[in-house]
C-alpha cells in the first residue's frame, strides 16, 4: 500500500484554495442584496426609513434596517438592506 506524504506547501495550498472558495461564496451571497447607508439627524433618519419601507415594502423586497448607530454629534448612521427586485 502506497501512502503519499503531504508536504507543508501542499497543505498550505489546499487551505488557501478552501479560503478562496469560501470567499467567493460569501461574495456571491452578498451581491444579491442592495444596501444604502444614510447619516441623518434622528427625525430625518426616521422619515427616510419610513420612505424606504414605503418604496420597497418588506413583504416584497425583504427590506430591513441592517444596522444603525448613534454618532457623537447625535446623528444616526444606518444601513437599509433590500432585495434588488420583487417577484
Please say if the pLDDT value at position 32 is more than 90.
no
Please say if the pLDDT value at position 28 is more than 70.
no
In a domain, 3, yes or no: no
- Beta-carbon contacts of 83 under 8 Å, excluding residues fewer than 6 positions away, are 32, 33, 34, 61, 62
Structural domains of the chain, count = 1
Beta partners for 34? 82
pLDDT, one tens digit per residue, over 8-27 is: 888 888 888 888 887 776 66
The confidence score (pLDDT) of residue 2 equals 52
pLDDT, one tens digit per residue, over 63-83 is: 999 999 999 999 999 999 999
In a domain, 18, yes or no: yes
Enclosing domain of residue 54: 9-82
In a domain, 87, yes or no: no
75 to 35, 51, 52, 67, 71: CA distances (angstroms): 19, 18, 18, 14, 5
Q: What percent of the chain has pLDDT over 70?
A: 86
Amino acid at each position: 500500500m502506497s501512502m503519499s506524504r503531504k508536504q507543508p506547501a501542499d497543505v498550505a495550498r489546499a487551505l488557501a484554495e478552501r479560503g478562496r472558495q469560501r470567499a467567493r461564496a460569501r461574495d456571491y451571497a452578498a451581491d444579491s442584496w442592495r444596501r444604502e447607508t444614510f447619516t441623518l439627524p434622528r427625525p430625518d433618519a426616521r422619515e427616510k426609513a419610513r420612505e424606504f419601507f414605503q418604496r420597497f415594502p418588506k413583504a416584497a423586497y425583504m427590506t430591513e434596517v441592517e444596522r444603525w448607530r448613534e454618532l457623537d454629534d447625535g446623528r444616526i448612521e444606518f444601513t437599509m438592506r433590500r432585495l434588488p427586485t420583487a417577484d
